[in-house]
């Protein structure tokens, strides 16, 4: 683990005892801090107490005597829609609030690095969609090319649960807006913004607050190099804020669909081909159409972002291309599950919002679309321009009738349950059809996570294909 520096002999409180909270508490103890912990759930508190942690009720006014810092888990609201009572109490007691990401950046560097031949690097990946795939793909490329690498943050393990850095290692961190919004230290070597679309708007009081949380990674983090997806205005604005002039190649512009030949350094995908363009000339081109683990334009955008980082770390185009072809893909993200009688089943349960579902719909033809769940703010209007390949929708979830009514121009059948939707979609399907789970909604009306929803889809599909 990464022992937290700067709090030896000081009392530090930890709020939230999930994966990151427990790792944080252990890392603080390893750094010599006096740690007290709290969670709103009694089972989590009991488990922490059984593991030897000092549980102290942080809702009590006297709990803050001598506390130097509060570290909160990312899922706990600290400003919008309203501050958690413990965070509000920390403010009232003039106790700073941080999260594990901030502690990681304060603590990761070590004096042992002076003896390394190659200094370790930290790459952070944020954005609305594609964070996990970009992060995992980059990690895969690095390992395939022989570079020591770790994957952590919002994917893989908690950041403070990482082992100390090795000579030449690259740590790839997927960071959500919840993580970037509060961290008091953000100092990546390379930072990536994949794209921007409305999400988590209640947590950030609108799109402006959501973008501001992402922007902190670049504006306050001061990375040596930034990789910015410029297919939305937010990306174009951010890239423009970072460059010093037309010839500034510290920012790599990326796109899925646009030619970016005028930028000092760009990586873009059009019609299935990835192109690297630098200082007025083409450097490399890769045919992505045969890369099985990265189907569709949205995955080609992810490939551009991962490729751009790999190139900035000194890897060659041919080595990166070979690694792309061996990438297996991530579970629940355009994941091919199986085939039966010419019908292919694809699990994209991670498509939890309109934008990510739209990208999934654009990646395939002849779609039998399983959708529905806990609808997010803004409705489904943004999906309707992208349903041309949908032969029929099979709607699941608690609000399936309301969801189906919004699918104007699409034949829709209300199935409610995953089992019924998979069975009916396969019964209707013809050879060449794709049964695609791309919910365009959160899972929490029926499942405790998008992973559980995807696993349920896989179970029903395997009953058909086995």
Annotated binding site for ATP: 127-133
Count of C-beta atoms within a 10 Å radius of residue 42: 8
Cβ contacts of 60 within 8 Å, gap of 6 or more = none
How many Å is the Cα radius of gyration of the chain? 23
52 phi, psi to nearest 5 deg: 95, 5
Please, what sign has the CA dihedral across residues 17, 22, 27, 33?
A: positive
Report CA-CA distances (Å) from 226 to 189, 312, 350: 9, 10, 26
| Binding-site entries | 127-133
Cα gap 182→72, rounded to integer Å: 9
CB of 175 closer than 8 Å to CB of 147: no
Rounded CA-CA distance 342/214 in Å is 42
> Measuring CA to CA, which residue among 403, 455, 75 is closest to residue 84?
75
Q: Which residues contact 281 (CB under 8 A, 6 or more apart)?
A: none
As beta bridge partners, residue 265 has: 278
| Closest by Cα among 245, 266, 262 to 254 | 266
With 0-12 / 13-18 / 19 or more C-beta atoms within 10 angstroms meaning exposed / middle / buried, residue 209 is middle
**∠185-190-195 over CA atoms, to 5°?**
95
Pairing of strands 170-174, 121-126: parallel
How far apart are the C-alpha atoms of 299 and 131, rounded to whole Å? 11
> What gap in Å lies between CA 236 and CA 231, rounded to an integer?
7
Q: How far apart are CA 211 and CA 147, in angstroms?
A: 32
Question: Measured between alpha carbons, how far is 228 from 223 in angstroms, rounded to an integer?
Answer: 12
> Could you give the CA distance from residue 28 to residue 156 in angstroms, rounded to a whole number?
20
Distance CA 283, CA 144 (A): 21
How many Cβ atoms from other residues are within 10 Å of residue 294's Cβ? 25
What CA–CA distances, in Å, run from 212 to 28, 43, 225, 235, 300? 29, 35, 19, 12, 26
How far apart, in whole angstroms, are the C-alpha atoms of residue 42 and residue 312? 47
**80 backbone φψ class: left, alpha, beta (φ>0; ψ -120 to 50):** beta
């Amino acid at each position: 683990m990464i022992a937290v520096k700067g709090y030896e002999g000081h009392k530090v409180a930890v709020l939230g005892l999930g994966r990151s909270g427990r790792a944080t508490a252990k890392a603080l103890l390893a750094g010599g801090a006096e740690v007290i912990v709290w969670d709103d759930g009694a089972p989590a508190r009991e488990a922490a107490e059984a593991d030897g942690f000092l549980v102290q009720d942080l809702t009590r006014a006297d709990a803050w005597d001598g506390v130097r810092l509060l570290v909160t888990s990312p899922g706990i609201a600290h400003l919008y829609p309203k501050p958690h009572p413990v965070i509000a109490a920390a403010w009232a007691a003039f106790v700073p609030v941080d999260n594990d990401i901030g502690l990681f950046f304060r603590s990761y560097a070590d004096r042992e690095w002076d003896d390394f031949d190659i200094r370790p690097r930290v790459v952070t990946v944020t954005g609305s969609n594609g964070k996990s795939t970009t992060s995992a793909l980059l990690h895969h490329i690095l390992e395939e090319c022989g570079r020591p690498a770790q994957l952590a943050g919002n994917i893989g393990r908690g950041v403070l649960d990482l082992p100390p850095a090795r000579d030449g290692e690259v740590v790839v961190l997927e960071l959500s807006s919840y993580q970037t919004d509060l961290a008091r230290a953000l100092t990546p070597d390379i930072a990536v913004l994949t794209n921007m679309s409305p999400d988590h708007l209640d947590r950030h009081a609108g799109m402006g607050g959501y973008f501001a949380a992402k922007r902190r990674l670049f504006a306050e983090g001061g990375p040596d190099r930034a990789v910015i997806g410029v297919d939305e205005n937010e990306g174009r604005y951010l890239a423009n804020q970072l460059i010093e002039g037309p010839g500034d190649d510290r920012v790599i512009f990326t796109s899925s669909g646009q030619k970016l030949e005028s930028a000092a350094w760009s990586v873009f995908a059009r019609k299935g081909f990835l192109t690297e363009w630098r200082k007025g000339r083409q450097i490399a081109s890769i045919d992505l159409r045969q890369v099985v683990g990265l189907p569709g334009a949205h995955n080609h955008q992810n490939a551009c972002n991962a490729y751009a980082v790999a190139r900035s770390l000194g890897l060659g185009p041919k080595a990166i291309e070979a690694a792309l072809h061996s990438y297996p893909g991530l579970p629940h993200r355009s994941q091919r599950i199986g085939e039966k009688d010419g019908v292919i089943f694809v699990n994209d349960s991670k498509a939890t919002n309109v934008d990510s579902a739209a990208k999934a719909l654009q990646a395939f033809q002849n779609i039998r679309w399983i959708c529905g769940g806990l609808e997010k703010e803004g409705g489904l209007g943004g999906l309707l321009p992208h349903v041309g390949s949908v032969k029929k929708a099979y709607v699941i979830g608690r609000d399936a009738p309301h969801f189906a009514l919004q699918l104007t121009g699409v034949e829709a059948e209300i199935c409610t349950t995953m089992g019924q939707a998979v069975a009916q979609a396969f019964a209707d399907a013809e050879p060449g059809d794709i049964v695609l789970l791309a919910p365009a909604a959160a899972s929490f009306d029926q499942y405790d996570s998008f992973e559980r929803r995807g696993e349920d889809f896989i179970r029903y599909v395997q009953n058909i294909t086995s």
